[in-house]
Amino acid sequence: MAVTEIPPPPPVAHAHHPPPPAVLALHKQYIKKPIEQLADDPYILDLDNISDYHKTRLQPISELDKDRLLSDYKTFLEDGPENGVATELVADPDGIRTTVYTHKNVPGIQILPSLPPAVQTKVLERILLRDLSNPVHKTNLHAHYQLPYSQFSSDKPSYFHLDADTTFEPLDPTVHKPMTVQQALKKKLRWMTLGGQYDWTKKVYPEMVPRDGEEGVEGVDRRDEVPQFPPDLKRLIQALFPQITPEAAISNFYSPGDQLSPHRDVSEKSCKGLVSISIGCDALFLIGFAPDPLKEDGTVKTAEEVEAESKEHVLLVRLKSGDVIVMNGESRWAWHAVPKVIRGTCPSNLQSWPGELKGLDGWDSWMSTKRVNLNVRQMWDPDQETKQM
């Protein structure tokens, strides 16, 4: 994978800044855009049907070695205890995509299309059938519910294995009602953090800020306190992108109708790229920057001029199952969002997951209406000072 020089990050306080009006306007525009109009929109990059607009802007940047890639995939599929059906080796080596692309509109972005289906399934198994039931990896549910960790066993290793009437009791019954495991996984589960545990309210990693009574500035380096990032997922990411050391990840769980507002990931004290893996339903991914508000002569552009230029500074990608985005170079600090998850687009090989697995027939078709997105990042650079940027 090509390595692109990344500029210094914005201050961590910028994590709370609102998005530029031009980026927010595009996000809202595509939230409202009917699904049936997406295929004919020339501004949406579909790697299986590239429009004329993108043919001169999309550029191959590198070619991965197919033999090594196949070896890396096989290693991942054979790695660790078996808990599912993704133990087969990659069945179609000729179908492995090895070209990495970049795009003129967003300097530094890298796109690797379509991880093999067996690899996608294995990633799902690791995240949802193993890591989700590990109490060190927090979820949005922890803030309001007691999670039934005591009910896990060798026969029931995940939430999907628990009895359908298993109940999540609220921490405050005056605010939240009890809910079943079916309700939790189908409707309420929104995100999970792996490795470094991100604080979504303060927009910091607890391992990077001082405790009460602890002297020093924000940015205290306590790497030894970070929960371990899953080793097998770490090896897969590093095999594909050796310049990145996975230390934290946020896994988002989307359903059609969900969206993610424009934001920037600036809380990490590392300039390494951010890796995003999509599995399940298609989604629109928006990434980019606001146009320069000034003309070359120093005069201010009109609102109409800024709006007309906005699409030249952003990229809209229709991400499909298995697609990988690397936010590298300038794109590492770009605004990005998910305006739409597209119903009815989950690949046929995933639609019945995990109901096809032994003992999980009650979860048939769970994945058919889901998009799972794994966002992996490095928290620190090895030679970086521990002061806040």
265 appears as a binding residue in the annotation: yes
Phi and psi at 180, nearest 5°, equal -80, 165
The Cα–Cα gap between 47 and 316 comes to 11
The Cα–Cα gap between 75 and 258 comes to 34
Paired residues of 336 in beta bridges: 263, 287
Q: Taking the alpha carbons of 20, 23, 27, 33 in that order, is the dihedral positive or negative? A: positive
269's CB contacts (< 8 A; 6+ apart) are: 208, 219, 379, 380, 381, 384, 386, 389
Q: Are 273 and 245 in contact (CB under 8 A)?
A: no
176 appears as a binding residue in the annotation: no
Provide the 3-class DSSP secondary structure of residue 23: helix
The Cα–Cα gap between 343 and 322 comes to 17
The Cα–Cα gap between 9 and 14 comes to 10
Paired sense of beta strands 248-254 and 371-377, if any: antiparallel
65 appears as a binding residue in the annotation: no
Which residue blocks in 35-84 are alpha helix, DSSP H? 52-55, 66-77
Q: Are 335 and 262 in contact (CB under 8 A)?
A: yes
Query: What are 106's two structure tokens?
Result: 């967003």
Nearest Cα to Cα of residue 378 among 246, 216, 182, 210: 246
Residues in binding site for Fe cation: 263, 265, 336
Annotated binding-site residues read: 263, 265, 336
